[in-house]
Amino acid sequence: MSNDVLKQNKKSWDKVAHHFNGKDALPSYGPFAQTEDELRLFDEIVAKKVLDIGCGSGHSLKYMADQGASELWGIDLSEAQIQTAKETLEGLEAHLVCSPMEEDCGMPKHYFDVVYSIYAIGWTTNLSAAFKLIHSYLKPGGSFIFSWDHPLYAHLKSHNGQIYLEGAYQDEGVIKYPNFKGEEAPVVIPKRKMATYINELIRAGFTIESVIESDVSANLDGVSEEISDQYYSLYKARRFPTTMIIKSVKS
Ligand SMILES: C[S@@+](CC[C@H](N)C(=O)[O-])C[C@H]1O[C@@H](n2cnc3c(N)ncnc32)[C@H](O)[C@@H]1O
Domain ranges for the chain: 3-250
Tens of pLDDT along the chain (251 residues) come to: 678 999 999 999 999 999 999 888 999 999 999 999 999 999 999 999 999 999 999 999 999 999 999 999 999 999 999 999 999 999 999 999 999 999 999 999 999 999 999 999 999 999 999 999 999 999 999 999 999 999 998 899 989 889 999 999 999 999 999 999 999 999 999 999 999 999 999 999 999 999 999 999 999 999 998 888 888 999 999 999 999 999 999 99
Residue 1: per-residue pLDDT: 64
Q: Compute the Cα dihedral for 185, 190, 193, 198 and give only its sign.
A: negative
Residue 25: per-residue pLDDT: 96
What residue owns the CA closest to ligand 1's atom 26?
A: 56
State the distance from the centre of ligand 1 to the C-alpha of 17, rounded, in angstroms.
9
Atom number in ligand 1 closest to CA 52 = 6
State the distance from the centre of ligand 1 to the C-alpha of 54, rounded, in angstroms.
3
The DSSP-derived string for 89-104 is TTTS-EEEEES-TTS-
Question: 20, 105, 187: which to mutate for ligand 1, most atoms within 8 A of CB?
Answer: 20
Atom number in ligand 1 closest to CA 17 = 27
Residue 166: per-residue pLDDT: 92
One of 3.40.309.10, 3.40.50.150, 3.30.300.20, 3.30.360.10 is the CATH number of 3-250, namely 3.40.50.150
What is each CA distance from 202 to 138, 198, 208, 251, in whole angstroms?
15, 6, 7, 11
